[in-house]
Structure 1
């Protein structure tokens, strides 16, 4: 029987929660050098690395009885139901937003419907908010598009790559990522139409480094691995901007994140810690994929109404709680039932628990 990695579930949840806090605070601290969670966007790169590790764990030994098409169907069943829900939420929030920015005003219902239909496919859609986003109805979907690209590359090429070839890919993509991070000054990019070319560069190194880490089996045995790894993530995200900030962020992705995943995979939890990791892992993907339409509403409210910190704080706390409740409700009332039905109808089998990559 395969080993399970509950700490990786928990770390994915910790990163998702930090992303929500980062996005809630973003409108108050648009300059990342002043943001309390300066490097919170690095959670995306951490997710990619986790995904590569878990995809290797879940599927490397199944290729003798699974075709690439079957693999891709499994991944669509896993990821796409919540993507569809998030686009519906994004369209609804956009249409009902009483504080919409000038760039979002006057959009016809027909154009909004067209953007929603394109976004359902995860392809880049016309910007309707004025921020040049490739997925304006739900910003984080740019990274889910790259997740699909990563899965296609894994099914077509990655599963066949020998260790030496995988090492070469990881080294070259790591150099490319470091170059972009240093050139840009940070890696908070790839989500806009004009920087779409950077999105696969952000994905390639961490995803295939995660796959390489799994295949190498070089795990770190660390006592109290979950709290220590969670603390390490929080510290790395919250350290200030540095004079060579791009180099710092590249080092986080290239060096620190693989060590954290290796320690998480090599650690053990039981009792309350294990239950906490399981819960965090279960709601991590729903949190990540459904929270941003409501961040847009909050952002537009702050920009239009300019509340004082005392006025904004209870709204922000309420929003955070709502996002967590929405994630749990989305999981239990929609995602799990829909995926169970799709597994029976599309995959032709009863659902089986497996460590997810999101």
Structure 2
């Protein structure tokens, strides 16, 4: 396997996908005409495939050697939990301010949801819609990501290429089945579509695993430095989320989203893994990768907190100033992601790695995924 642990172009694609998700969940901050990207929900499927690809690169050999399942899961929690916790705390503050503004008291159900969500576990099926994570609903994908990670550690990393291909094929059938059942691809955030979220995560993650194994098998591992290709791949990725400005009122059918998630994104990632930016473009691509996870896990809590603070302090809704409020929101999230990574996530992970990660595993604990 290739010795370099960094896939800078893939990091950039992850950042572009995070931007699409922010505009999707930002909703009317960007205007009342509809979402900025009409297929932004597919960013999550891109995340899953990227995760499978990168984690195979970082951990497969070690899981087949001497890295235990418990140690691997501990590393993944150290990687994901600090920023998740920050998002939960921001969301909790927004909920507390909203309760204060309405002069109402919290409920037992809200308290149970708070405890479970703080532990990165889904809350009971309450509310409408019954989100798995009431305090930060995009966290559903992190929950399913951890399930896929556990399956990878338990058996996925040890499958032969043929076994892995069959497994991914079965997962593809499962994903198609749930998509047909719900006649939708927007699956996973609520209890009603729990099976759909699991199918999306498992297929995406293990498709990424298979991509890496095929890349390694057929020696498709050489790196080519090309800013032109990196920019083109970034533009193609952004275009797959289908910008409304170019498409008007047309909305992509579920079948097209399925094709993107199952065929286009794997091909895109396989190609993007071969290209790297030069020194001129490297800082931007690296920053997109660094900021992507923080932006994803913080943007909904910050949207909630910003909205309630604006209403309580000056009596306005942020949506009244769209689309300028949306552009400002992106800038705030970008800066917050950088600050959270530098002053919160990295120090906490360094501390946890020093105290909790086994000495033999410390080198891999910083792998980005």
If the length of structure 1 is used for normalisation, what is the TM-score? 0.88
Tell me the residue number matched to 2:346: 336
In the alignment, the residues of structure 2 paired with residue 160 and residue 55 of structure 1 have an alpha-carbon distance, to the nearest angstrom, of 14
Contact 2:79 2:366 in 1 (8 A): no
Aligned to 1:173: 171
Structure 2 CA distance for partners of 1:137 and 1:323, relative to 1, 3 Å: same
Aligned match of 1:23 in 10, 22, 25? 25
* 1:185 Cα deviation from its structure 2 partner: 3.6
The alignment partner of 1:97 has SS state of helix
Distance 1:98 1:43 in 2: 32
In structure 2, the CA distance between the partners of 1:29 and 1:200, relative to structure 1 (3 Å rule), is: farther
Shift of 1:128: 7.1
- 3-state SS in 2 of match to 1:333: helix
Deviates more, 1:124-133 or 1:39-48: 124-133
Deviation for aligned residue 1:328 = 1.2
Secondary structure of 1:271's counterpart equals coil
**Structure-to-structure mapping, 1:90-101, within 5 angstroms:** 90-97=91-98
Asked whether the equivalents of residues 107 and 128 of structure 1 are also in contact (C-alpha less than 8 Å), the reply is no
Q: State whether structure 2 residue 362 is matched by structure 1 residue 356.
A: no
The answer on whether the counterparts of 2:136 and 2:300 sit within 8 Å (CA) in structure 1 is: yes
RMSD: 3.1
**Contact 1:286–1:327 (CA under 8 A) maintained in structure 2:** yes
Structure 1 residue 122: deviation in Å?
A: 2.0
Counterpart of 1:313?
323
Q: How far apart are 1:317 and its partner, in Å?
A: 2.4
Separation in 2, partners of 1:339, 1:17: 25
Residue deviations 1:259-293 (CA, integer Å, cap 9, x gap): 11111101121112111111111111111111111
Q: Which residue of 2 aligns with 1:293?
A: 301
Unmatched runs of 5 consecutive residues or more in structure 1: none
Q: Does 2:83 correspond to 1:71?
A: no
**How many angstroms does 1:322 deviate by?**
1.5
**Aligned-pair CA distance for 1:145:** 0.3
User: Shift in Å at residue 227 of structure 1?
Assistant: 1.3
Matched, 1:255 2:259: no
How many residue pairs were aligned?
A: 352
User: Does the aligned pair in 1 maintain the 2:38–2:252 contact within 8 Å?
Assistant: no
Quote the offset at 1:351 in angstroms.
5.7
How far apart in 2 are the matches of 1:244 and 1:334?
39
**Matched residue, 2:189:** 191
Tell me if structure 2 keeps the 8 A contact 1:58–1:354. no
Shift of 1:98: 7.6
- How far apart, in 2, do the equivalents of 1:207 and 1:257 lie? 12
Find the aligned partners of 2:214 and 2:263 in 1 and give their Cα distance: 16
Q: Measured at CA, do residues 82 and 308 of structure 1 come closer, stay the same or move farther in structure 2, by a change above 3 Å?
A: closer
**Cα separation, partners in 2 of 1:83 and 1:97, compared to 1, 3 Å:** same
What is residue 237 of structure 1 aligned with on the other side?
241
The DSSP-based 3-state class of the residue aligned with 1:164 is helix
Rate the CA distance shift 1:348–1:136 in 2: closer, same or farther, 3 A: same
Q: Which residue of 2 aligns with 1:325?
A: 335
**Cα gap change, 1:25/1:108 in structure 2, threshold over 3 Å: closer, same or farther?**
closer
Closer, same or farther: CA 111–183 of 1 in aligned 2, 3 Å: closer
Equivalences for residues 223-234 of structure 1 within 5 A: 223=226, 224-234=228-238
**Runs (5+) with no aligned partner, structure 2:** none
Residue by residue over 1:146-170, the C-alpha shift from the partner in whole angstroms, topping out at 9 and shown as x without a partner, is 0100010001110111111111111
Which is further off, 167-176 or 248-257?
167-176
Alpha-carbon deviations, 1:116-167, whole Å to 9, x = none? 2110222211467643211011011100000100010001110111111111
8 Å Cα contact 1:286-1:331 kept in structure 2: yes
Q: Which of 53-62 and 4-13 deviates more?
A: 4-13
d(CA) in 1 for partners of 2:126, 2:98: 13
